């Protein structure tokens, strides 16, 4: 594809376009992918639409100042983000081991962005051009805007706005705030005096002219007191609504962090405008020789239909970034994008996904949200569905029907997460039936995460009973529509509330299913989530309840091993865990046992033959696991989805005489 279809990334590009000086330069930790699934592309194209010239410096070498001067000095400002994923999550696994690859870099090569990229990039840009305004944004800046617990250093860090020395922080989805910032800067207003824009935060030395704000415990207080940290998090969480939300102040030393209320929700017309901008829909051609950018594979033939989520998952920071209120595109806008997609030379007839953070949350939860905002004292769907929740899939179904009828489209998949409790709350089963018949490729991925109700309560997930009902209904509908499809559940170990007893309960659930997860997800404490706050403080800030938190590497390893109890290399850990939990009854050769007394690989040929002759039906099912592949997704800060060792996947068909949980279970590659 021609370079002219992309925003300029070099002096040669500027010369070809007769640009002497750019208005804005975006510095990003990702390679340059000009697709609306990437924040850099959206912000850049929005500003171009407003008449500004915009260039991109993707993945600059942070060790050399010249990398930050490659496009010259911007007239109005630097816009800095770490990329689609927090740089620390991008670099480290949940066990803090360094990753070797990066799906957002050329050829998947790791190491092309620094740790804490927003801070490093901002300091370098300031060093390059001291008088140029610096505005930070994206997921890393957004979720670190207050004093926050940092898992990697195991301490409380200051707001990223303080450490980066940036002038403004644009949090959440920044289309509205960045256009206002650009307008004021173009009018000649000093960035130090831009203070009232919704969806932004700034640092000030005085609150003299500030009215109607809520002050939360200071950085110093939350660093010294976990109860103060909980208090601050609770207030911060309750004020993240564009209608109900108040200005929040948090003192850092002798200065104040001020967060203005969130930007107003985008209308459907505004959302449509964002997605019809002139994106190239692929990565910049300079990456072709290195094998391209792996992350494009997941999104090139996928369509974002909406933003926001009211799902209440405690380990997800999405509501702190995109918010609980659904903002959607019109059906016409989505269909137009699909038609454009069918003309791509590499389109094979398959639309990989049509959805958002939660695919079947296509519209606002209730009419109350539209008038007075989201409720502060209750969630929409947890612990059960609110009486005001609109449960209706027909508009989403009508969209899917129109898409699958388009010429050149063979199949339209739904691969964003389906909220299964919302699905079974719908008394009209038409969507469920057509989902199974037309929009699943052999398996449906869902996220029960756990089966212990005590753990599920802390996760903000429905009870096991709800999942049992969904599973039963799923197989009933598949039988009704003449399909033979399977369920692949995401499962998580070591979440706050999960002790060894709960982990063993989950292991027994896996045994009941009759197949073993090839990969499992360890809880990853990332900034901005309720679960991370509980992990740090040991107390649920909304209930005041003390929560057990698995912290030691040894216990986390045992909980993880229990989810893969049949692997010979996990035998010692599983055995130790069972003995420690007083469940030695699960060690043996009987039907209920999880493991034999001796690991299979160390037993003699004779004993192995004896085990073979006496093995139970369930033990047979744990063999023959397949390898799996992973796909990168950058729109969700909630789960560590960027690498394949953090996804759950299963193999081997289950015994149809088992409970509905295990009925007809099978898995393919993910």
What is the full DSSP assignment across 350-402? EE-EEESSSTT--S-S-HHHHHH---SS--SSSSS--TT-----HHHHHHHHH
| DSSP line for 536-574 | HHSB-TTT--B-----SHHHHHHHHHHTTTTSGGGHHHH
Which of 57, 45, 46, 41 minimizes the C-alpha distance to 9?
57
Q: How far apart are CA 337 and CA 519, in angstroms?
A: 34
pLDDT on residue 576: 97
- Same domain? 111 vs 195: yes
* Last residue in a domain, options 394, 418, 441: 441
- Residue ranges at the known binding site: 309, 313, 316
- H-only helix segments in 239-391: 268-275, 296-299, 331-342, 367-372
Q: What is the torsional sign of CA 345, 436, 488, 83?
A: positive
Domain around 102: 3-259
Answer whether residue 293 is part of any domain.
Answer: no
- Same domain? 427 vs 450: no
pLDDT on residue 405: 97
Q: How far apart are CA 643 and CA 664, in angstroms?
A: 28
pLDDT on residue 665: 36
Answer whether residue 218 is part of any domain.
Answer: yes
pLDDT on residue 370: 87
- Per the listing, tokens 């405690």 go with 314
Q: Which residues pair with 293 in a beta bridge?
A: none
Q: How far apart are CA 436 and CA 378, in angstroms?
A: 32
Q: Which two tokens stand for residue 602?
A: 């160390």
- Residue ranges at the known binding site for [4Fe-4S] cluster: 309, 313, 316
Q: Which two tokens stand for residue 650?
A: 């299963």
Q: Tell me the pLDDT tens digit for each residue of 139-165.
A: 999 999 999 999 999 999 999 999 999
CATH number at residue 70: 3.40.50.2300
Q: Which helix (H) or strand (E) holds 307?
A: strand 306-307
Q: What is the pTM of this model?
A: 0.89
- Walking along the chain (670 residues) 10 residues at a time, the average pLDDT comes out as 92 96 98 97 98 98 97 98 97 95 97 98 97 98 98 98 98 96 98 97 96 97 98 96 96 98 97 97 97 96 96 92 95 98 96 96 94 91 95 98 97 94 97 97 92 97 96 97 93 97 97 82 96 98 97 95 94 97 96 92 48 40 33 38 34 35 35
- Same domain? 666 vs 598: yes
- Same domain? 372 vs 486: no
Q: Which two tokens stand for residue 220?
A: 């110093």
Whether the CB-CB separation of 46 and 179 falls below 8 Å is answered with: yes
Answer whether residue 47 is part of any domain.
Answer: yes
Answer whether residue 397 is part of any domain.
Answer: yes
- Same domain? 436 vs 489: no
- Same domain? 450 vs 547: yes
Q: Which two tokens stand for residue 225?
A: 């007191």
- Same domain? 404 vs 512: no
| DSSP line for 466-535 | HHHHHHHHHHHHHHHTT---EEEEEEEES-TT--HHHHHHHHHHHHHHT--BSS-EE----TT-HHHHHH
- Same domain? 127 vs 233: yes
| DSSP line for 8-64 | --SHHHHHHTT-SS-SEEEEESS--EESTTSHHHHHHHHHHHTT--EEEEES--TT-
Q: How far apart are CA 168 and CA 258, in angstroms?
A: 10
Q: How far apart are CA 632 and CA 298, in angstroms?
A: 6
* Last residue in a domain, options 389, 420, 441: 441
- Same domain? 322 vs 339: yes
pLDDT on residue 184: 98
Answer whether residue 120 is part of any domain.
Answer: yes
Q: Which residues pair with 98 in a beta bridge?
A: 92
Q: How far apart are CA 438 and CA 518, in angstroms?
A: 27
The Cβ of residue 528 has, within 10 Å, a number of other Cβ atoms equal to 27
pLDDT on residue 616: 38
Whether the CB-CB separation of 477 and 433 falls below 8 Å is answered with: yes
pLDDT on residue 637: 38
- Same domain? 421 vs 315: yes
Q: Which helix (H) or strand (E) holds 91?
A: helix 87-91
Answer whether residue 315 is part of any domain.
Answer: yes
pLDDT on residue 601: 64
The Cβ of residue 402 has, within 10 Å, a number of other Cβ atoms equal to 15
Q: What domain count does the chain have?
A: 3
pLDDT on residue 245: 95
Q: Which two tokens stand for residue 331?
A: 């059906």
Answer whether residue 62 is part of any domain.
Answer: yes
What percent of the chain has pLDDT above 90?
A: 85
Contacts of 471 (CB under 8 A, 6+ apart): 487, 660, 661, 663
- Same domain? 126 vs 229: yes
CATH number at residue 361: 3.30.750.210
Q: How far apart are CA 640 and CA 524, in angstroms?
A: 7
- Same domain? 501 vs 583: yes
Whether the CB-CB separation of 169 and 137 falls below 8 Å is answered with: yes
* Last residue in a domain, options 234, 259, 284: 259
pLDDT on residue 625: 31
Which of 384, 508, 386, 380 minimizes the C-alpha distance to 450?
508
**Angle of CA points 661, 666, 668, to nearest 5°:** 140
Answer whether residue 273 is part of any domain.
Answer: no
* Polymer length of the chain: 670
Q: Tell me the pLDDT tens digit for each residue of 533-577.
A: 999 999 999 999 999 999 999 999 999 999 999 999 999 999 999
Q: How far apart are CA 362 and CA 344, in angstroms?
A: 27
């Amino acid at each position: 594809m021609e370079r002219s279809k992309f925003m300029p990334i070099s002096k040669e590009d500027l010369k070809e376009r007769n640009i002497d000086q750019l208005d804005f330069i975006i510095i990003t930790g990702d390679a340059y992918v000009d697709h609306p699934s990437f924040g850099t592309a959206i912000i850049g194209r929005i500003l171009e639409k407003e008449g500004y010239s915009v260039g991109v410096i993707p993945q600059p070498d942070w060790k050399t100042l010249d990398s930050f001067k490659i496009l010259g000095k911007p007239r109005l400002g630097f816009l800095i983000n770490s990329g689609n994923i927090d740089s620390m999550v991008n670099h480290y696994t949940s066990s803090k081991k360094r990753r070797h690859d990066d799906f957002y870099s050329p050829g998947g090569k790791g190491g092309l962005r620094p740790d804490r990229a927003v801070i490093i990039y901002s300091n370098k840009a300031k060093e390059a051009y001291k008088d140029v305004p610096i505005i930070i944004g994206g997921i890393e800046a957004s979720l670190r805007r207050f004093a926050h617990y940092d898992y990697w250093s195991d301490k409380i860090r200051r707001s990223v706005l303080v450490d980066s020395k940036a002038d403004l922080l644009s949090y959440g989805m920044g289309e509205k705030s960045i256009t206002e910032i650009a307008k004021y800067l173009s009018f000649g207003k000093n960035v130090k005096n831009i203070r009232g824009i919704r969806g932004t935060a700034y640092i000030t030395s005085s609150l003299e002219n500030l009215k109607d704000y809520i002050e939360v415990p200071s950085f110093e207080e939350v660093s010294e007191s976990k109860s103060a940290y909980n208090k601050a998090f609770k207030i911060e969480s309750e004020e993240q609504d564009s209608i109900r939300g108040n200005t929040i102040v948090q003192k850092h030393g002798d200065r104040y962090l001020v967060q203005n209320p969130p930007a107003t929700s985008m209308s459907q017309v505004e959302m449509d405008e964002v997605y019809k901008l002139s994106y190239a829909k692929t990565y910049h051609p300079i990456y072709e020789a290195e094998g391209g950018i792996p992350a494009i594979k997941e999104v090139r033939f996928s369509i974002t239909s909406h933003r926001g989520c009211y799902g209440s998952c405690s380990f997800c920071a999405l509501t702190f970034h995109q918010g609980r209120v659904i903002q959607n595109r019109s059906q016409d806008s989505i269909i137009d994008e699909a038609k454009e997609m069918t003309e791509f030379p590499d389109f094979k007839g398959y639309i990989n996904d049509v959805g958002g953070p939660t695919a079947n949350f296509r519209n606002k939860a209730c009419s109350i949200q539209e008038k007075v905002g989201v409720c502060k004292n209750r969630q929409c769907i947890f612990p059960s569905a609110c009486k005001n929740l609109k449960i209706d899939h027909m508009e989403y179904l009508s969209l899917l029907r129109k898409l699958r009828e388009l010429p050149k489209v063979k199949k339209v998949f739904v691969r964003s997460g389906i909220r299964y409790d919302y699905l079974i709350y719908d008394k009209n089963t038409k969507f469920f039936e057509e989902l199974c018949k037309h929009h699943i490729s052999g398996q449906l991925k869902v996220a029960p995460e756990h089966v212990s109700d005590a753990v599920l309560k802390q996760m903000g997930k429905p009870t096991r009973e709800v999942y049992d009902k969904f599973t039963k209904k799923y197989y009933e509908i598949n039988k009704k529509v003449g399909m033979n499809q399977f369920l692949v559940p995401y499962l998580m170990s070591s979440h706050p509330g999960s002790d060894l007893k709960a982990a063993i309960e989950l292991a027994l659930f896996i045994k009941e299913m009759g197949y073993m997860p090839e990969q499992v997800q360890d809880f990853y404490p990332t900034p901005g989530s309720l679960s991370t706050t509980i992990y740090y403080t040991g107390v649920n800030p909304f209930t005041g309840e003390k929560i057990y938190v698995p912290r030691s590497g040894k216990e986390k390893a045992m909980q993880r091993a229990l989810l893969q109890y049949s692997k010979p290399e996990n035998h010692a850990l599983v055995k130790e865990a069972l003995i420690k939990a007083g469940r030695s009854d699960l060690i043996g050769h009987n039907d209920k046992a999880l493991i034999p007394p001796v690991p299979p690989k160390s037993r003699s040929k004779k004993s192995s033959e004896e085990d073979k002759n006496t093995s139970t039906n369930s033990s047979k099912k744990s063999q023959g696991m397949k390898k799996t592949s992973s796909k990168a997704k950058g729109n969700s800060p909630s789960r560590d989805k960027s690498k394949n060792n953090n996804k759950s996947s299963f193999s081997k068909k289950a015994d149809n005489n088992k409970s509905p949980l295990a009925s007809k279970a099978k898995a393919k590659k993910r």
